Structure 1
């Protein structure tokens, strides 16, 4: 009979997670051996702990405590600038589309008000608009 018990992240204490991360980072255990040794359900659980609590910079694939050369730092910053420039262009396009839509909707409301002789916009009398 299989005594399988589904566990969640809440079943492990922070100190336990940190000790497993420390053992794996110091080379005492591999990710898979830590998983098996401690009965952790999944290898990815240990990897997630390493990403969350470890000293490895997963984004740049280097230990975070290692100093970066000026060339590495320049390359990182150039990549960030390129990404930000792309995002800026995309946001400018979205802004232009939104502005165009607002103008078109405004024109449609004007036409509807004129065509059907109804007030769609809520116009407050001047004395009420000063109260806020």
Structure 2
């Protein structure tokens, strides 16, 4: 077995790297001037996951949503984004219009059913009273059916 001094391999931890070094590496990778594997080789960083961890902590990429968070978008990207939003809104509008159409048809059918029932059974289903009349009527009905409670003791 060779010892660490002979191979030039020194085991490092996250704490061995300075914050400025980590930020410099992240900036270089995000600019595209160097790849993760090249950083690993050039700076003798033992694990790719160490570099990825730095990118997650200090980078501008939103790893949860898989989108760059602070990176500016090109005009073409913005146009494509807006076009996809327009398509989504058009689909939603068509869906809402379809639901409104169905609701209108249901209203027409229900009105027809009420008309048929009124004609068939010769009763008035629709009340033609205004809201004022209905509240006055309720008061009269409540007074007529009020039964006092008599307690016998």
Q: Please report the TM-score for the alignment, with normalisation by the length of structure 1.
A: 0.51
Report if the CA contact (8 A) 1:113-1:119 is conserved.
yes
Q: CA separation of 1:62/1:126 partners in 2, compared to 1, >3 Å: closer, same or farther?
A: closer
Does the residue aligned with 2:128 lie in a helix, a strand or coil? coil
RMSD: 3.1
**1:78 positional shift:** 0.2
Equivalence map 1:8-23=2 (5 Å): none
Equivalence map 1:37-52=2 (5 Å): none
Q: CA separation of 1:68/1:122 partners in 2, compared to 1, >3 Å: closer, same or farther?
A: same
| Higher relative contact order structure (alpha carbons within 8 Å, sequence separation ≥ 6) | 1
Q: Larger radius of gyration, structure 1 or 2?
A: 2
Give the aligned partner of residue 62 of structure 2.
56
Give the aligned partner of residue 49 of structure 1.
none
Which of residues 44, 56, 79 in structure 2 aligns to 1:25? 56
Equivalence map 1:46-125=2 (5 Å): 56=62, 58-59=64-65, 61-124=66-129
Unaligned 5+ segments in structure 1 are 1-22, 28-54
Unaligned 5+ segments in structure 2 are 1-53, 137-153
Q: CA separation of 1:58/1:80 partners in 2, compared to 1, >3 Å: closer, same or farther?
A: farther
Structure 1 runs, 4 residues or longer, greater than 4 Å off: none
